[in-house]
Structure 1
Amino acid sequence: MPSTVEEPAAQFEAERPHLLAVAYRMLGSRAEAEDAVQEAWLRYAKVRTGGEIHDLRGWLTTVTGRICLDVLKSARVRREAYPGQWLPSILVDPDEDPARRVEMSDQVGLALLVVLERLTPEQRVAVVLHDAFGMPFADVATVLNTTENAARQHASRGRRAIAEGGVRHNADLAEQRRVLTAFLAAAGSGDVQALAAVLAPDVVTIGDGGGHVPTAPRIVEGAERVARFWIGIFSARQIDVRSLDMRPVLVNGEVGLLVRGTWPDGRPVLAVVVAAVADGVITGIFNQMNPDKILLSDRL
């Protein structure tokens, strides 16, 4: 029986979640990931009419990887002109549904996405495709249009860069909640030393306002500097922190804090704070305030 138009569409839709997961890990932007997957669909629809594809997932992953590689190369230029620090887009869900927590268990954490930003496009593609999705290096080489040995080297250098420059994060959800609660209590007290005690010596904080709201123009590093920075936010006169609605949420499957309120000029406050936690202390604090990068669940 001849294939119908609906058949290739249904086959592609079955692979869409996998392709979105691949593209998001590579790009750190859900909008860009969705665009990349849509482009993969257009290429699949064109090629599908000319013959059978025996390994559909492999073929689509390779095509999506090539598209993402091109996007990554152009994104570097765009992000150099980005106002302030850049953080990935995030998916925010209520922290109250055990079934949803299981469903989100395969989400990639914000700390890892931030670290992946430090890699070259080739390193990032190689690490994501091989280490996260198990693609053989021979196929990774096809995506990168290089040799298998070169693909291995890209992955090896990428792993080394992650190990040397990464924000450590190995805590489970319960530990993340405990440490985040301690952070909020210390920040609210105004005690720099108490706050520094819950921070790692090499902790960093990164804020992304996307030009919508002011954030620190550079990464803030070191326990005392980060402590003073956050106590400054909690004691800022332009907004009463106590008037804000702050609730725990899941951010890409990990514990975070959703902050809502209103600036004195009537503009809405929307921010999501995520803390990377390792060995009982915070190693990184990420403050996403760009509303274009905050994807809220319908239940929020």
Structure 2
Amino acid sequence: MQPDDTELFEEQRERLFGLAYRMLGTVAAAEDMVQDAYVRWHDVDSAAIENPSAYLTTVVTRLCLDELKSARKQRDAYTGPWLPAPIVAERNATLPSVERDNALSMALLVVLEALSPVQRAVFVLREGFDIDYSTIARIVHRSPEHCRKIAQRARAHVGARNRRYSTSRDEQEALVQAFVDAIEDGDPEQLGTLLAEDAISYSDGGGEVTAALRPIYGRERITRFLLGLARKARPDTRIERVSVNGDPGFTIYVEKDVQSVWSFASNDNGQIDRLFTVLNPQKLSHVR
């Protein structure tokens, strides 16, 4: 490998990580896929590759497909709800393009878990990276016509389950702050007004730490659950507002350790209708 080849790969690294993360939903596994792609890039004659970007996209997608197929049984046996490992940034930081994209939201990534590996690959490549069907077909070993049908079915599935609303960034920020205030004040009435009547709360402890083993449904049950958690919080617990997968959220610390990362989706009434809480330490090891 020539020095220029290393530079070319590094120019692609952020995009490749974004692809792998959307495919796998975990930071560590996505980084592994990118590193494996780098090793393969190191071993080929780059001068013989007409389109390095397309080559690396193909390598990473196929590596992710293999990883998804092998991870299916593990996820089926997972303790409690499975949530993606969050990408956390400072609240007012200028986010890399991989974190600004709405296709990275926790809500969407949760929905993508229900797709088959090939459906997920086709959806991510088409919707997330605007890759043409002929190229996608070569990557996933299907015909272009078949890929169009796969994408159509995947979009229908995602659209039916991933509701996106026209809430502005400022409105999202205000909603999360009001949620934090209501929790800290222990105010059930205020908290209840912030939650949709049919809200759902998902907690991912992975069997490693205490967490709700099933989703919690409904405003009243979620309110009781959250205020119960707040009453049990240690005195050295603190909340830090952050960006989670590009959306407003917060991190809870106990002393200097990350205890959990919270993110939200809201409805057109400006209420929270889905809460995502990642507590599994294995999914938070990259969070500082």
Q: Same fold (TM over 0.5)?
A: yes
Q: Is the counterpart of residue 251 in structure 1 residue 241 in structure 2?
A: no
State the identity %.
35
Q: Which residues of 2 match residues 92-111 of structure 1 at below 5 A?
A: 92-97=88-93, 99-100=94-95, 104-106=99-101, 108-111=104-107
Query: How many angstroms does 1:44 deviate by?
Result: 2.6
Gaps of 5+ in 1: none
Deviations 1:132-157 (CA, angstroms, capped at 9, x unpaired): 10111111112221111211121111
TM (normalized to structure 2)? Answer: 0.89
Letter in 1 for 2:20: A
Asked if structure 2 preserves the Cα contact closer than 8 Å seen for 1:93 and 1:296, the reply is: no
Equivalent residue of 1:79, what SS? helix
CA contact (8 A) 1:200 1:282 kept: yes
Contact 1:202/1:221 (8 A) holds in 2: yes
Deviation at 1:294? Answer: 2.2
CA contact (8 A) 1:89 1:295 kept: no
Residue 276, structure 1, aligned to residue 265, structure 2: yes
**Secondary structure in structure 2 of the residue aligned to 1:84:** coil
Displacement of 1:268 after TM fit? 5.0
Q: Secondary structure at the residue paired with 2:202?
A: strand
CA 1:169–1:243 in 2, change beyond 3 Å: closer, same or farther? Answer: farther
Distance 1:48 1:217, change over 3 A: same
Distance 1:176 1:13, change over 3 A: same
Output the CA distance in 2 between the equivalents of 1:229 and 1:30.
29
In 1, Cα distance between the equivalents of 2:95 and 2:40? Answer: 33
Query: Which position in structure 1 is the counterpart of 2:206?
Result: 210
Residues 103 and 141 (structure 1), Cα distance of their counterparts in 2 relative to 1, 3 Å cut: closer
TM-score, normalised on structure 1?
Answer: 0.86
Match of 1:72 in 2: 68
Instruction: Decide whether aligned partners of structure 1 residues 278 and 211 sit closer, same or farther in structure 2, where only a CA change above 3 A counts.
Output: same
Query: What SS does the corresponding residue of 1:197 show, helix, strand or coil?
Result: helix
Deviation at 1:230, TM superposition (A): 1.4
Equivalent residue for 2:4, pick from 4, 7, 25: 7
* 1:292 is aligned to 2:288: no
Contact residue 169 and residue 283 of structure 1 kept, 8 A: no
Alpha-carbon contact 2:251-2:260 (below 8 Å) kept: yes
Distance 1:184 1:214, change over 3 A: same
The one-letter code of the counterpart of 1:53 is I
Query: What CA RMSD, in Å, does the superposition of the two structures yield over aligned residues?
Result: 2.4
